[in-house]
Structure formats: structure tokens, C-alpha cells
Amino acid sequence: MKLVFLGTSGSMPTERRGSCSAVLKVGRDLIMLDCGEGTQRQMVRAHVGFRRNMVVLVSHLHGDHVLGLPGLLQTMSLLGRDKRLDIYGPEGLISYVKAFSEALGGPTFPVILHEVHEPGVVYEDEDLRVTAAASSHTLEGWSYSVLEKPRPGRFHPEKARALGVPEGPLWHTLQHGEDVEVEGRVVEAGMVADPPRRGRKVVYSGDTRPTAELVELARGADVLVHEATFAEELAERAREDGHSTTVEAAGVARDAGVRLLVLTHLSSRYPEPGGLLDEARKVFARVVIAEDLMELEVPLDEVAEAA
């Protein structure tokens, strides 16, 4: 699992930072987090494929978070994509995508639009569960948690062989926690495999004020990607505009007990963000500032699930 930051600026792009977007690579699949203007070019630079299985999560409908969607869909169409693309976002997403699609033509592949109307699980597959919580911005929006489901525990081939379990499908069954029968006797999964391991969790705030709902959404996350539009000296401006300061973002990370905080969506007034990092670290030590095209590995956790 790897996070790739495609754009890290707030409101408008700068010389060094593009409009807001990131992708979470999960194996060969992608979860896109917002899609600001120029996202498709950043994908090319980051070597992110346009034909991969992908789900797009839109936090809200301000332009710096969605103006990349027309270009993304046109690029995918030009490259002959035929896989379905699901896009999730707030009310108004459907009319927005339909409007530019009617004007520009396309897309030439299936695009399924899902408007999120209440908090809870919005997407789930065999490996992941995506949960939304309402953000607190100047218009309706959502923060998202991407949770990897528990992974099978470490399998011990030598134990399986000693118990007479032939290599093949039975090993797979045992590793996934199911008992098997071998020559009339039951071999329990716990005899040859460790307990399931905790799945990784990445949370994306979108544009928002700090809220109790966001703290709960981010509880125990491996990575919290949180907007930090302003330094603390502009706390009043942050409240007026529905944004967070560095210190407020760090407070969310601290209260949620996350492992790492990544600050993004920085105002163009901060070309050198070292001061923002110093502010945040006074509240929460494990913090970095995202840069365009920065890649961040989300490490595997070898700790087993509690019984």
C-alpha cells in the first residue's frame, strides 16, 4: 500500500504545487482522493496507470478538488479504457459530471456516479472498506477512511508438512483461517498459521474544520492526510473559511492516536513550509508535509488481531 501525492496546494496551484489530488495504491488497484486540475498530467509523471481498477473519492465540489475530472475521463477515453470507474462524492456530483460530459462528449467507458447522503460505509470489496464522515466546510463535503480488511496470518509450511497436509489448495484454506480434513482427521488453522493481522488504515480529511466525527473516523489510522491551509496565526481566517490550521490538524492526529500525520492543501502564501511543520510538531511529533509526487509507503503491520 502506497500513497502518491499528485497535488498538494490549497485553492489554487503554485509553481511547486498542483491542485489537490492523491492516489492510494493497493496492489494493482487505485483509490483516488480528489481530482484537482491537472491530475492526469501528474499521473503521467508519477507513472500511475490510467487503465487500472480505480475508485475516485471526491471530498467536495470546490473547483480545486474536481476540475481534473473532465481531463481524467477524456484521457482515459483516448487511451481506450474499458474498465468501469466508480466515483463517489457529495450531492451535485452527478449533475456536474453529466454537464461536462454532455459538453465535451464521452466518456467512452462505464462511469458510475454515487452521491453520498449519509455517513457510513460507501464502498466495499474483498480487500477494502471505505467509510465517509461529514466534513465541516463552507459547503457539503465528506472525509473518507480507507480500511484494509484483516490479512491472513503468517503461514508455516514446515508445520503443515509435519501434519501431513499436502501443498496446494488446503494450504490456502488453512492460511485464511479455515480448518481442513486430511485422511479422516481435522487439521485446525491455528496449528499451522498465525492469527489474522490488522489491516492498514488511511484517512483523508478533505477541506474541513476539526470535528469529533473526523477524530473518530481517524481513530488508530496508520496515516491521516489532513488539510493545513493556514498557519496558526490565521486561525480566525481558518474558522471563517472552513479550513484547519497546522495546529488544529495536529490536534486531530493526537486525539485520534494516528501513527503518522501528513499535511496537505497548503495556502500559496507558504512557499517554504518549514514553519508550518514546526508548528504542527509542537502538538504532534510524527508529522510530515506532503510535496507533489511524494510517495509514502504504508508499512505492513505484523501484529495479530486481538482475540
Q: Catalytic amino acids?
A: 64
Phi, psi (deg, nearest 5) at residue 44: -65, -45
- Across the strands, what pairs with 304? 197
Block residue for cell numbers 473516523: 217
Distance CA 118, CA 166 (A): 49
Neighbouring C-beta atoms of residue 131, cutoff 10 Å = 19
Q: Rounded to an integer, what is the distance from CA 116 to the centroid of its chain? A: 16
Among candidates 248, 259, 262, 263, which has minimal Cα distance to 219? 259
Spatial contact of 160 and 171, defined as CB atoms under 8 Å apart:
yes
Among candidates 108, 67, 106, 60, which has minimal Cα distance to 84? 108
